[in-house]
């Protein structure tokens, strides 16, 4: 197999001493050998940095030790310092099949594409049971994104190409740098991969699909994605505003599609509130906060985001504010549940 192109593998590392060796072994033993491996220790407080240094024995490995700046800035540092014609960026607690790079590289080059995508097998840490595999649709081999495609199916591309994540993709470095899109997200919010992929897609890349699951994603307690984030809503508002600004920059008018994405993001906020073991009282407070934040955000972007069918009129004070129906349903249900609990408690204590 020819190996003309240098490929960069960017691995942000933060407190993953239990997993990082498995990750790095799966990288250095790739069937594609022309690699540059950037290990970026983001201020780990465990032995992760020391473990990274052990891999300097492989002359393809470059190790960087930095103060903690978060995942987005660390990924961006890797992109800015890589020399490969293509790059992948992995999480330090995942691992890949030994032909991961080879197959993504073959897919992206044979299709003259900007981004190649493979399937992902997700599993819960400590068990091999109940693995879930996510794959792009079988109907896709190559997708040339155009302004017309964005206007008709931006949200469909988001779902089909698994754009929530970057670790199952190979990017053509020159294309990414020419767009000016960076990995960025303020504060400790989650969603930088999603923000990056969405903004990149607005620049009309060519996607190519590898019809195999080549990456193994570990779901574990304590990771960034499983932590409860009180500011998740603010992060998703930031992403939506960035998408709207990118559309203005590129002369795109796709408000219905951006609304569809925001509606999905808001669903993630609701899911986070529902499924993290809070009490009814905490849920009730969180939902009321989400509804209020959503109200303010939609007022600010009324002209841009009111096209989505899910944003139904709802009377709030003296003005009509459109809110996603499911948020209201959940908020009102929690109002009722909280009321019932209060009544039951009064009955109990008044006996």
* Contact in structure between 198 and 92 (CB atoms under 8 Å): no
- Whole-angstrom distance, CA of residue 215 vs CA of residue 121: 6
State how beta strands 95-96 and 319-324 pair. unpaired
Q: What is the pLDDT of residue 112?
A: 96
* Contact in structure between 190 and 235 (CB atoms under 8 Å): yes
- Whole-angstrom distance, CA of residue 294 vs CA of residue 233: 8
Per-residue model confidence as pLDDT tens digits over 212-259: 999 999 886 554 444 445 556 677 888 888 998 999 999 998 877 888
Q: Considering the chain, what is the average pLDDT of its residues? A: 81
- Identify the sign of the CA torsion 28, 30, 36, 38: negative
Q: What is the pLDDT of residue 31?
A: 97
By C-alpha distance, which of 89, 84, 93, 48 is closest to 66?
48
CATH of domain 7-226: 3.90.550.10
CA angle 256, 180, 14 (to 5 degrees): 95
Beta strands per DSSP E along 202-272 = 206-219
State how beta strands 61-66 and 35-42 pair. parallel
Q: What is the CA radius of gyration of the chain?
A: 22
By C-alpha distance, which of 54, 50, 82 is closest to 65?
50
Distances (CA, A) of 232 to 117, 186, 284, 290, 323: 27, 11, 17, 10, 18
By C-alpha distance, which of 251, 160, 238 is closest to 202?
251
Q: What is the pLDDT of residue 302?
A: 60
Q: What is the pLDDT of residue 321?
A: 42
Per-residue model confidence as pLDDT tens digits over 282-335: 766 777 777 677 777 767 766 555 555 544 444 444 343 444 444 444 544 444
- Whole-angstrom distance, CA of residue 261 vs CA of residue 258: 5
Q: What is the pLDDT of residue 182?
A: 95
Q: Which residues of the chain have pLDDT under 50?
A: 1, 223-228, 310-329, 331-336, 338-351
Q: What is the pLDDT of residue 351?
A: 45
- Whole-angstrom distance, CA of residue 326 vs CA of residue 270: 9
Could you give the residue range(s) of every CATH 3.90.550.10 domain in the chain? 7-226
Q: What is the pLDDT of residue 315?
A: 40
* Contact in structure between 145 and 115 (CB atoms under 8 Å): no
Q: What is the pLDDT of residue 285?
A: 74
DSSP codes joined into one string, 156-209: HHHHHTTTT-STTEEEEHHHHHHHT-----STT-S-HHHHHHHHHHTT-PEEEE
């Amino acid at each position: 197999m020819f190996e003309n192109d240098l490929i960069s593998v960017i691995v942000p590392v933060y407190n993953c001493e239990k997993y990082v060796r498995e990750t790095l072994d799966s990288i250095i033993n790739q069937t594609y050998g022309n690699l540059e491996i950037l290990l970026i220790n983001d201020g780990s407080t465990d032995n992760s940095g020391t473990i990274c240094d052990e891999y300097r024995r492989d002359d393809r490995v470059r190790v960087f030790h930095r103060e903690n700046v978060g995942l987005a800035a660390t990924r961006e540092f890797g992109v800015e310092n890589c020399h490969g014609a293509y790059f992948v960026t992995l999480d330090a607690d995942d691992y890949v099949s030994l032909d991961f790079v080879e197959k993504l590289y073959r897919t992206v080059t044979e299709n003259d594409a900007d981004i190649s995508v493979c399937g992902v097998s997700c599993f819960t840490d400590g068990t091999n049971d109940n693995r879930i595999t996510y794959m792009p649709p079988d109907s896709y081999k190559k997708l040339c994104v155009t302004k017309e495609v964005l206007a008709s199916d931006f949200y469909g591309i988001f779902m089909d190409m698994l754009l929530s994540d970057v670790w199952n993709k190979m990017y053509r470095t020159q294309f990414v740098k020419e767009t000016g899109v960076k990995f960025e997200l303020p504060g400790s919010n989650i969603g930088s991969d999603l923000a990056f992929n969405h903004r990149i897609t607005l620049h009309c890349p060519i996607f190519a699909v590898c019809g195999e699951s080549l990456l193994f994603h570990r779901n574990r307690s304590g990771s960034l994605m499983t932590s409860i984030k009180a500011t998740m809503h603010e992060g998703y508002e930031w992403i939506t505003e960035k998408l709207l600004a990118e559309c203005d920059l590129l002369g795109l008018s796709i408000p219905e599609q951006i609304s569809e994405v925001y509606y999905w993001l808001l669903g993630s906020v609701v899911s986070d509130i529902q499924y993290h073991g809070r009490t009814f009282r905490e849920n009730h407070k969180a939902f009321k906060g989400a509804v209020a934040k959503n109200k303010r955000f939609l007022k600010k972007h009324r002209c841009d985001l009111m096209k989505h069918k899910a944003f139904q009129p709802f009377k709030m004070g003296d003005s009509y504010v459109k809110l996603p129906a499911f948020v209201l349903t959940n908020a009102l249900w929690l109002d009722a549940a909280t009321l019932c609990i209060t009544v039951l408690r009064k009955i109990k204590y008044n006996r």
